[in-house]
Amino acid sequence: MGQVNTKVTLCGIEMDNPIIPASGTFGYGYEFAELYDINCLGSFSFKGTTKDPRFGNPTPRIAECQSGMINAVGLQNPGVEKVISEELPKLAKCFDKPVMANVSGFAIEDYAYTCEKLDKEPQVGWLEVNVSCPNVHGGGMSFGTQPEAAAEVTRAVKAVTTKPVIIKLSPNVTDIVSIAKACEEAGADGISLINTLLGMRIDLRTKKPVIANKMGGFSGAAIFPVAVRMVYQVAHAVSIPVVGMGGVTTAEDVIELMLAGATAVEVGAANLVNPFASRDIVNDLPRVMEKYGIQNLTDIIGQA
């Protein structure tokens, strides 16, 4: 079949392949760079960054599940100023491609402030804006659960940035399509989904929830069919690119999400199980493409 072409273009930026380790599972990159050359990746999304430093949630924050895990880390990060002054220079030493900056916030102003700062950083290629955070001024419901709130965040960020803005949606909603469309209408350059589902485990011995916060984000292979369904629904409803994720563990999963409509694919929990997971998926992609007669990855986007 000859040489297969794994290149894709996400919001105008060409990538060697569509594989992006997901935010919160890859730190700020350099931790994994000690294990392998992370330049083999298409890009990666760094740890969720907020305006102010966050200590995170009380422990325990992790619960194991069959085919998955629950986490409630609580956006632990050093805050945007420290990320720019300390984390990004370290990252620059080991990664020479555009990186995806993942941003979280608890008020519209937080999102705008953090995105405006990160937008000026030369290493940042895309801003991935996580609207799954609780809206402190809006009664604690996440911005991503109402179309208008998600649109408001989108507009505020687009007003202060020049780089592509990809809105990361929460799957904990009944109508994902209306939220994606609201973000597109508000100027989003892309949609990223799915974030974790909401899950819970109870310890039979103590009869108490395993996680100190009671509930947490449920991720891992078990959620993959939900991701395929939501990516398919959203990709067919919007004309901007979709970044798909949720339970991806193999190169076959990547192809499946791309057939559903994803332009690029993030790998999350798998990195926590096997630190080489993303690298292994990149390396296996050409084999799987040849197996299914795929010459150019771009050709299969949304072909299902």
Residue 207: count other Cβ atoms within 10 Å of its Cβ.
7
pTM for this model (two decimals) = 0.96
Does 12 reside within a domain? yes
Does 194 reside within a domain? yes
**pLDDT tens by residue, the chain, 304 residues:** 569 999 999 999 999 999 999 999 999 999 999 999 999 999 999 999 999 999 888 888 889 888 899 988 888 899 999 999 999 999 999 999 999 999 999 999 999 999 999 999 999 999 999 998 877 777 777 899 999 999 999 999 999 999 999 999 999 999 999 999 999 999 999 999 999 999 999 999 999 999 888 998 999 999 999 999 999 999 999 999 999 999 999 999 999 999 999 999 999 999 999 999 999 999 999 999 999 999 999 999 999 9
Does 64 reside within a domain? no
Q: CB of 244 within 8 A of CB of 193?
A: yes
Per-residue confidence (pLDDT) for residue 74, from 0 to 100: 83
Q: Which residue carries 């990223």 as its tokens?
A: 192
Looking only at the bridges linking them, the beta strands covering 8-10 and 202-203 are unpaired
Per-residue confidence (pLDDT) for residue 208, from 0 to 100: 95
Does 63 reside within a domain? no
CA distance 70 to 298: 33
Per-residue confidence (pLDDT) for residue 140, from 0 to 100: 74
Does 267 reside within a domain? yes
Does 69 reside within a domain? no
Residues paired with residue 199 on neighbouring β-strands, in sequence order: 216
Residues with a known catalytic role: 133
End-to-end CA distance of the chain: 22
* Domain count within the chain: 1
Does 66 reside within a domain? no
Residue 57: count other Cβ atoms within 10 Å of its Cβ.
17
- For the record, the structure tokens of 279 come out as 């690298």
Looking only at the bridges linking them, the beta strands covering 262-267 and 19-21 are parallel
Which CATH number belongs to the domain containing residue 187 in this structure?
Answer: 3.20.20.70
Instruction: Choose among 78, 90, 30: nearest CA to 50.
Output: 78
Domain range for 248 is: 8-52+75-198+218-300
Residue 94: count other Cβ atoms within 10 Å of its Cβ.
16
Does 243 reside within a domain? yes
Question: Rounded to the nearest 5°, which phi and psi values hold at 219?
Answer: -135, 180
Indicate the DSSP class of residue 161.
Answer: -
CB within 8 Å of 28: residues ≥ 6 apart = 46, 47, 83, 87, 88, 90, 91
CA distance 281 to 279: 5
Per-residue confidence (pLDDT) for residue 93, from 0 to 100: 95
